[in-house]
Amino acid sequence: MVGVSEFSTVVLAASDVVEPRMCNLAVGQVGSLIQRCAESRPVEWPVLSRYARNRAQRKLYSSDCQVIHSVVRSSDGEELATGHIAPHPVYMKVHLFDLPQTAYKHALEAQYYLHEQVRLNVIDAALMILTHPNTVTLGRHADPSHIIDSHALEQRGWAIHRVDRGGDITWHGPGQLVAYPILPLDRSSLTVRALICLLSNALRATLAEYGITAHWEDETPGVWVDQDKIAAIGLRIARRVTRHGISLNVSPDLSAYEMIVPCGLHTRGVTSMQHVLETELSMQNVRNTLTDALLNELPFSSVERFANLPDISMVTV
């Protein structure tokens, strides 16, 4: 049980005022205390991501997507630090697969394999970072009419996959980074909402490193620069373990999105880091920045790196 002093520390940390939505996003045991406090008095909560902490920055990446694990003051009363709140300390070793361009089908098979490995507690967690050749995927509730010209896609040799993630239709391809975190929600003491916020934080932290200001939208989920989507999140939770993940447009040919109605949104656009900055970017540098941001945001204590897909010869998708 979290003691009164720890709860008081969280309350005292609310000196920087942002959107008062923390009680919907609290993680671990402190959640019920925050909820009771919010019901008795209006309290507004700051966001300090673990990525910002690790860079010795006190920066709010967003005012509308917030996660606080725990918040403490330093001895001088000025700086804030964060740590993961859970019934017991969480020490998760992540198997990081830093992969070259990989066919979507093979990456999906690997996700299913790693999902089972995590579910059975053979490994703590997995994270895949990669790119795909031109591929269109449709989520569980996608409208097939959002493929504008399926014949043209077939002529171009693009793969089309109906998958079990949330969301509508999207494109993956060269110039876009994709990350698939495979996490046990219960063992990591994360809610689905909290995980989405941490992924959003990592994406916005990456963009901030390049001077791009982005925001999260609840009604049209994703990371946006003004009115254009620059990064997407689509997850599947099966047996309390996650699949699928995030995509970030670094330097893709944006004309690819003319073949579909991205995310089923007719009135919004799509952009990329290169388009916003009007300069060429190193894909490897952005990959390194995003990887670091994800490793800092997610509850990982150590990393084992792999350069190839796991052996999935026994897996059937």
Domain boundary among 28, 57, 82: 82
Domain boundary among 55, 82, 109: 82
pLDDT tens digits for range 77-106 = 543 444 333 334 466 999 999 999 999 999
115 and 66 housed in the same domain: no
Q: What are the tokens at 299?
A: 């509850």
Residue 315 included in any domain: no
State residue 142's pLDDT score: 76
Q: Give the separation between CA 228 and CA 9, rounded to whole angstroms.
A: 38
60 and 132 housed in the same domain: no
291 and 241 housed in the same domain: yes
Which of the residues 37, 65, 197, 263 is marked catalytic? 263
181 and 148 housed in the same domain: yes
Non-local (6+) Cβ contacts of 105 within 8 A are 159, 161
Question: How many domains are there within the chain?
Answer: 2
State residue 189's pLDDT score: 84
Q: 119: which DSSP letter?
A: H
Question: Where in the sequence is the domain holding 11, given as residue range(s)?
Answer: 4-82
Q: What are the tokens at 261?
A: 């109605």
Q: Give the separation between CA 22 and CA 133, rounded to whole angstroms.
A: 39
| 65 flagged as catalytic | no
Q: Give the separation between CA 204 and CA 273, rounded to whole angstroms.
A: 12
Residue 167 included in any domain: yes
Q: Of 269, 277, 308, 84, which Cα lies nearest the Cα of 183? A: 84
148 and 252 housed in the same domain: yes
Residue with the two structure tokens 């909290």: 194
Domain boundary among 82, 111, 131: 82
Q: Which residue has the higher pLDDT, 61 or 204?
A: 204
State residue 132 phi and psi, 5-degree precision. Answer: -120, 155
State residue 164's pLDDT score: 77
Alpha helices in 41-95 (DSSP H): 50-54
- Supply the pTM of this predicted model: 0.73
Size of the chain, expressed as the number of residues it contains: 317
Q: What is the CATH number of the domain that holds 249?
A: 3.30.930.10
Residue 88 included in any domain: no
225 and 184 housed in the same domain: yes
Q: What are the tokens at 39?
A: 């019901």
